[in-house]
Amino acid sequence: MTSRRVPGTSTIAVVDDDASVRGAIQALLRSAGLDAEVFASAEEFLGSGRLAATTCLILDIRMPGMSGIELQERLLASGHRIPIIVITAHADDDERARALERGAIDCLQKPFDDDALFDAIGKASGAAAP
Amino acid sequence: MRLPSRRILRHPAGRYAFGGGLGALAVLVRALLPLRGDIAIYSTCIVAIVIAASYAGRGPGYLANAVSALGVGVVFLSRRPSGMPLVERAFGLVLFVAAGVVVAEFVATRRRTELALRESEDRFRSMAENISDIVWIVQISPERMLYVSPSYERLWGRTLRDLYADPRHWIAGIHADDRARIEAAFSDWMTGARADYDVEYRVVRPDGTTAWINARGTLIRDANGKPYRASGIATDITERKRMEKQIRAGEELWRATFDNNPTMYFMVDAAGTVLSINGFAAEQLGYSVAELRGRPIAEVVLEDDRDAAKRELARCLEQLGQAVGWELRKVKKDGTVIWVRAWARAVNGPSGTPIVLVACEDISEAKRAEEALAAAEAELAHVSRVTTLGELTASIAHEVNQPLGAIGTNAAACVRWLAANNLDEAKRCAEQIKADSVRAGEIVRRIRELAKKAPPRKQPLDAADVCREVVALARAELQRKHVALHIELPSDALPIVGDRVQLQQVILNLLVNAIEAVTGDEGPRDVWVTSERNADQVTIAVRDSGPGLDPAITDRLFRPFYTTKPHGMGMGLAISRSIVEAHGGRLSAAPGEPRGALFRMTLPTAAAATVA
């Protein structure tokens, strides 16, 4: 996976098993001048060593292996307080509620409106700021 | 005259002794008789010669002549009883000997003729009276029975005397139904109104028993060609008639069996011309037997099936004596098409040229039922397929939503790039949109194909491809249920022949079952889809890490309406198995290693399927 990091700007990570989806999100963020690192799985993200540098995590819930919810729980448990925007391709109110419960900034349903994503990112950067 | 013993006369030596003895006796008798005169001297000798020649033949006659001449010459001539000069006496002796030769010759010839005649008559009689046939001779005018052999009494049960008394008495013995016909035929023949006489009739004996008679006759003509006698033979043909009747009855039975047996029989030559056809076949096809005999059999075969029928006929002729079976459609006279199952066998005909015997059975009903069953099966398979798809609805929606989401996101990015006038980036986004829409379209196409109701269509396929398509459909379901899928497919194609949708249905069904098996408990969630080729077979296997199958239910698994699922219809595996079997393959279940269940489907490779 390619991961780009522009020094001095906040780092957004995208974790989604679907290459098209994470590619599209990366493209959208770049069109707004935001750089993003993409990961194909929760495991890949956890093993990347980029947790501390990540200021916002755009996370797919349903993935093979570790799911988005599990990753969220893992981060909470290990004390990483990365603002998380959950995206899901499925209108599953239960999952949505669980994500928000665990402190997700927002839960967007695919296909989502780009403005909604940027709003959430804006909220996340606010939340991330000490 | 019974003088000489016949036994003596049977041997040549006896006959000569008889002749010589008679000659000597004549001399003795002459010596004892007081006869006077030259002629009288020889009278007893002449008698001896005649008797010897007539009873013993020419040789003994000559001997009697010689002996008596010698005796008379020596005894009487030397005594000169009449005082006749010696020369005259010697002349008289020579004259006597010459006369004796003539007499002996004459008598012997007559005897031979008589003997020959008697012999011929004896032969005729012994023949006529010993054969079982009746031999008869009739004088025509006035009509009189000249001869009839004694067999008449046995055959007619009437006396010869009655027949000699009335030459038409035999007609009275003829069966009442035949009498008038035979009497007319006989009279017509005798008067020349009918050329020949060769008739068959029944005779009823006075004791009531019946005999079949064949009578034949010939007319005997005089020098002018006018018939004056008729002769003939009457033969007992009762036994022959009985056998003929038996043979005819056998033939009739055979014919009736052949004609009425509810199977269509054809006998055709190598060119396919109908040599013989039974009544039932003609009737079934709406023709008469005469209409089809001599016609090419192809005329009653549906045009589409003619080439195949021709091939099968050729195969029959190649494998003389071997039964060959196939199914084809025949056309009735009224145009109705019927399905028949044909069994044919070529054999060498009576003239040495091969003929083909074909038996056909109308299987139209069975075919219709078969078609209806196939339609019902296809319908059921469709329902089952749609049901399976229904179970996957949530996952499939997710699967379609992924590219749709990407398209929306890329479109938003594209709009932003366009606003920023960055056409390169905008173009890249647009291209991604294009790729994702193709992907979404692919998913929709797969679903539509599976949901579509279409008649099964067999085509060359790659088994690995079929597996990949199914996996693509189930991917979302696997993810949703957190099931890890392990696919092991060879890089080489696995050529098979079959209906893509039906085979996908089977794999999808096995896959959905496997997913359910591994999500039922807390164990590992692994599913393997593998496909490989072994010689002329392609195996597609779906294995899971679930709790496995209860051995007690393994054989019930494939039965219709057997289900372990609360909302299952119990048709999935039953339909799957019938689909696989319709492809010439097998579907079986076995315990997985180290745990779980293994469902294995084997199909013939494209090459093997074509051969079969």
Tens-digit pLDDT profile for residues B465-497:
999 988 888 887 888 788 889 999 998 889 999
* Nearest C-alpha neighbor of A117 from the set A24, A47, A20: A24
**A6 has a pLDDT exceeding 80:** no
> What is the pLDDT confidence band of residue B369, given thresholds at 50, 70 and 90?
confident
Please give the Cα distance from B223 to B522 (Å, whole number).
131
Enumerate the residues of chain B whose CB falls inside 8 A of the CB of residue A18.
Answer: 402, 406
**A54 has a pLDDT exceeding 70:** yes
- Check if the beta carbon of residue B220 is closer than 8 Å to that of residue B231: yes
* B405 reaches A (C-beta below 8 A): yes
State the helix-helix crossing angle for B364-391 and B393-419, rounded to 10 degrees: 60
Identify the weakest region by mean pLDDT among A12-21, A87-96, B441-450.
A87-96
Residue of B420, B436, B479 lying closest to A62 (CB–CB):
B479
Backbone angles phi, psi at B351, to 5 degrees: -90, 10
Please give the Cα distance from B227 to B216 (Å, whole number).
16
Contacts of B534 (CB under 8 A, 6+ apart): none
b/e map B173-191, b = 16+ CB within 10 Å: bbeeebbeebeebbeebbe
Strands (E), A46-92: 54-60, 84-88
* A17 reaches B (C-beta below 8 A): yes
Kindly give the pairing relationship between strand A54-60 and strand A84-88: parallel
* B30 reaches A (C-beta below 8 A): no
Taking an 8 Å cut-off on Cβ atoms, the answer to whether B479 and A111 are in contact is no
* B401 reaches A (C-beta below 8 A): yes
> What is the pLDDT confidence band of residue B92, given thresholds at 50, 70 and 90?
confident
Enumerate the residues of chain B whose CB falls inside 8 A of the CB of residue A90.
Answer: 394, 397-398, 401, 480
Please give the Cα distance from B426 to A31 (Å, whole number).
9
Residue of B416, B432, B479 lying closest to A23 (CB–CB):
B432
Neighbouring C-alpha atoms within 13 Å toward the C-beta of B326: 18
Interface of A with B in 81-110 (CB under 8 A): 87, 89-90, 110
Question: Which residue of chain B has the CA closest to A34?
Answer: B413
Interface of B with A in 423-452 (CB under 8 A): 425, 428-429, 432, 435-436, 439
* Nearest C-alpha neighbor of B18 from the set B70, B69, B66, B53: B53
Residue of B403, B412, B479 lying closest to A20 (CB–CB):
B403
How many residue contacts between A and B have a Cβ separation below 8 Å? 94
Residue of B401, B425, B432 lying closest to A89 (CB–CB):
B401
Q: Mean pLDDT, to the nearest integer, of B130-142?
A: 89
Element (H, E) at B199: strand B197-204
Q: Which of A109-123, B56-70, B325-339, B585-599 has the highest mean pLDDT?
A: B325-339
Contacts of A115 (CB under 8 A, 6+ apart): none
Nearest-CA distance from A19 to chain B in Å?
A: 9
Share of chain B above pLDDT 90, in %: 45
Taking an 8 Å cut-off on Cβ atoms, the answer to whether A30 and B402 are in contact is no
Q: Mean pLDDT, to the nearest integer, of A14-42?
A: 92
Task: Choose the mutation target among B409, B414, B417, B424 for the interface with A, i.e. most A CBs under 10 Å.
Answer: B409
* A66 reaches B (C-beta below 8 A): no
> What is the pLDDT confidence band of residue B88, given thresholds at 50, 70 and 90?
confident
Residue of A25, A32, A110 lying closest to B416 (CB–CB):
A32
Question: Which residue of chain A has the CA closest to B525?
Answer: A65
* Nearest C-alpha neighbor of A61 from the set A22, A40, A82, A88: A88
Looking at residue A5, its pLDDT comes to 41
* B481 reaches A (C-beta below 8 A): no
* A47 reaches B (C-beta below 8 A): no
Question: Which residue of chain A has the CA closest to B434?
Answer: A20
pLDDT per residue as tens digits for the range B540-554 = 999 999 888 877 777
Q: Mean pLDDT, to the nearest integer, of B376-395?
A: 78
Nearest-CA distance from B441 to chain A in Å?
A: 15
Q: Which of B95-109, B267-281, B395-409 has the highest mean pLDDT?
A: B267-281
Looking at residue B408, its pLDDT comes to 92
Neighbouring C-alpha atoms within 13 Å toward the C-beta of B131: 15
Nearest-CA distance from B372 to chain A in Å?
A: 42
Question: Which residue of chain A has the CA closest to B440?
Answer: A20
Query: What type of residue is A17?
Result: D
Residue of B401, B409, B417 lying closest to A24 (CB–CB):
B409
Residue of B398, B409, B425 lying closest to A90 (CB–CB):
B398
Element (H, E) at B228: strand B227-236
* B486 reaches A (C-beta below 8 A): no
Looking at residue A90, its pLDDT comes to 66
Taking an 8 Å cut-off on Cβ atoms, the answer to whether B406 and A89 are in contact is no
Q: What is the pTM of this model?
A: 0.50
Taking an 8 Å cut-off on Cβ atoms, the answer to whether A20 and B402 are in contact is yes
> What is the pLDDT confidence band of residue B107, given thresholds at 50, 70 and 90?
confident
Taking an 8 Å cut-off on Cβ atoms, the answer to whether A111 and B436 are in contact is no
- Check if the beta carbon of residue A104 is closer than 8 Å to that of residue A84: yes
Residue of A27, A64, A65 lying closest to B410 (CB–CB):
A27
ipTM of predicted assembly, 2 dp: 0.86
Please give the Cα distance from B158 to B311 (Å, whole number).
70
Residue of B394, B405, B422 lying closest to A111 (CB–CB):
B405
> What is the pLDDT confidence band of residue A130, given thresholds at 50, 70 and 90?
very low
Looking at residue B335, its pLDDT comes to 92
Nearest-CA distance from B411 to chain A in Å?
A: 9
